[in-house]
Structure 1
């Protein structure tokens, strides 16, 4: 009888331990998914500014062939990044890689447009584009912070998932690895905009 009680106690301890591990994994996964959702929100704010910039520049500068082509490419890249963001909320590794590629492409095209509309020394950017670029820089800063927060939450989850004894049960419970999100080393380090009265942040 004593052996039976001991066996039951061992089973109970194992069950409680598994439940605790499951709860901790669930909490950490919810944390990194919440961070990913906040990143999605900041990205969408950035895309809104990109659309405003594109529409404003198109009204005033599309007659320039180079700028017109750059604006067309930028609009397409913005749409591609927005679509990639829609599928990234669940933390799928493939979707996050697609989002990273879309963001890098968008950043390259924004830098190209910025160079094309850069005014001559002493002149203000046309149509208050300087102010819009400043808004974009601020939005990019918030995206960078949100991305770092997601990567930190994903790193904490992965560290616990790969530790003993969680690693023995994570796979059975369906807890896969949380992929890191890298937008590339050059992203969000935009060049400065010349200071002028019409360029100041609203």
Structure 2
């Protein structure tokens, strides 16, 4: 009886040692790291979405006639808010990236349009929103970069021997990441440089140099030998 209990303890300890040596614990840690990194990506995208209603309302107060642009931004934000993204599913992640890219493009058009409204550009609330939007875009870039690194670390680890056997035994598969095409689509933050859309000033006319007397054209002033 005692021998059976002792044998069970030995087998349990052996199993735990094998699981630890084959990377099981590390796989769990890296899996959780990717989930945390993705949560931060969603957190920053949500922060941007929360800024948009205030931005739209501020612009509407000065440029209500830009109805089409305002509607596009609102619709793009609504589409993003309705998505249930699964970062472990490549198709779901691709749809999420596409929706975020469409929202970035709509914001870009909105901010370019505001160039035609000097009073809006000088409004303090609009300038504050602009600064917050710039900061959010930077945070999105950082969070997305950390997620990419976490997924790369996880995928690389579970493909190595003997971790690949452990991953296969427990059903751990490679995670999708931001693809190059989609990454290029959403890489650029919405344009917030209002001076960029201004037409370049016409070059000033070249100054006409004063006439210079030519000794060849006026023999009367030719120097004497």
With the shorter chain as reference, the TM-score category is 0.7 to 0.9
**Counterpart pick for 1:30 among 29, 32, 35:** 32
Instruction: Let me know the Cα RMSD of the aligned residues.
Output: 2.7
- TM-score (norm: length of structure 2): 0.70
Q: Specify the alignment match of 1:171 in structure 2.
A: 168
Highest Rg: 1 or 2?
Answer: 2
Question: Higher helix proportion, which one?
Answer: 1
Secondary structure class of the residue paired with 1:91: coil
Show the 5 A alignment for 1:45-194. 45-62=47-64, 64=65, 67-84=66-83, 86-88=84-86, 91-119=88-116, 125=121, 127=123, 128-182=125-179, 183-185=182-184, 186-188=187-189, 190-193=191-194
Deviation at residue 94 of structure 1 after TM alignment? 2.1
Deviation at residue 188 of structure 1 after TM alignment? 1.9
Q: Deviations over 1:110-139 (max 9, x none)?
A: 11111111147x766164434322211111
Secondary structure class of the residue paired with 1:184: helix
Residue-pair matches, total: 180
Maintained 8 Å contact 1:130/1:193:
no
Q: Deviations over 1:153-193 (max 9, x none)?
A: 11100110111111123122121112112553242263424
Q: Deviations over 1:96-123 (max 9, x none)?
A: 1111001110111111111111147x76
Provide the rounded CA distance (Å) in 2 between the counterparts of 1:146 and 1:177: 20
Structure 1 unaligned spans of 5+: 1-8, 195-202
